[in-house]
A and B are shown apart, each in its own frame.
Chain A
């Protein structure tokens, strides 16, 4: 095989692929999907105007309690965010207000459930019923309540919104006091779109929902309704406990769920806390499997198309007077591999750039996901498994292409390849849930599935020997498939008329007289 000829063929193949729509669709689709997937919900959330609402409170106490609950929620959210920002490090933490920062440092060593309790206690100003069960540092934190309340008093609405507080989403307006019937006035405001909705609280909400209502023109968007009624219910529950002469602490203790803290064993056998990142790490390979599948399949399809073009236009005759069939096939596979790697590489560059640039623009959770995606281990496996998967399917598709005169003709032959190719897609979710289970292991050792399944299991991760053995199996299968493809290609590419039958193909494979 002459390398210069292979190179010439590969070069032409690459440049021609560059001119196809499929190539550019491949390059652009991924960044587009990722950008839309991450940005649109965030932008929509940001663009969403704060929903304004009014409350006509006939009870005289419930509205105030609801507002206190809301403030508590905001603080809880702020603390969690501060703790998360500290855990990840970086500038996000330094930019937080001092009151939150100090607290976050104290909260950090705590478990998620304990953290929730401390936060609740801080906000409410009363220690939870099982304070005694809190570790010492948590109890010490409760002493910081004064400083925190000061901060909460002074903080501006804009700052709250920057901290991504839920409070930013809703804005309560006062019921106009102009002497007219307030309810008629509110109806008018809703009708004219000045406010989204209003709540009416009956004179005795503790007794029952008598005279309580929610009025809006839009009853399909229940976000505001659910948020407000959730807070109101919590407040009313407290009141009912008092009315029933039950100690709220006792009641709280009775109601408290028994929580089992999640722990993950690391490779060394040490217990690890489960953080948000772990979940994402588990699921991110899924995205990679999809992309891998898409990249392998579109690249192999490009190769199939160009093979059929050469065959059906009969260019191949002239080509073969200059290059050997093996050189032609090798050049085509290599050229299309280069186009596929260009697409995949452009994705990798995009992700790395996104991770470097985006954190400033997007929220914290997007950054965390982006960082996991940019994990060099994942990216490297992705590129390696792309090459392995592509080479395997390229050999299959180039032989199919060499036997058919049109794309329609390929369809019957593609079926037996496409159906097994779907299996790793169907198995994706079970494999993520049990990346080292029996199904995952068995599928890993079936070469057509190896690239997708091993990528799928990356969060496991599989044992080094599994990587080694599956890779060797894969390389062996590629060699076998390429050997067979070379024999089929030599003869098939020159055949015209009817597609060869399976028995004939078998004959080509067995006899060395392929050329």
Chain B
């Protein structure tokens, strides 16, 4: 069924954000910022005592939701996210979204949605907008 503006995307929870994953992502990104792998650096920066997840990794959680919803990694056409708050090791993160626009094309429904990632019991970490192609919904 073709989605309509106002429809909610599924809610997906990422449980217990993993400090070891942050270290792997730091290597992949060549990101030398120690708040992703050195608890002492986190304390010195006044950010508490838990490692800070990379914004790009939290954005990847939003991409995972869109991939599951649209059915393919190729479906994502555009995603833009602003980083509003930190996700820390051990946090649970809820990602979801809401359809804002649907354009019918010969290739399917081009769906734009507001998307977000929230720390459970806390702050909004990511807010953005994404466009995906639902190829099973040709015009």
- Asked if A and B bind, the verdict is no
Q: Which residues of A contact B (CB under 8 A)?
A: none
Q: Which residues of B contact A (CB under 8 A)?
A: none
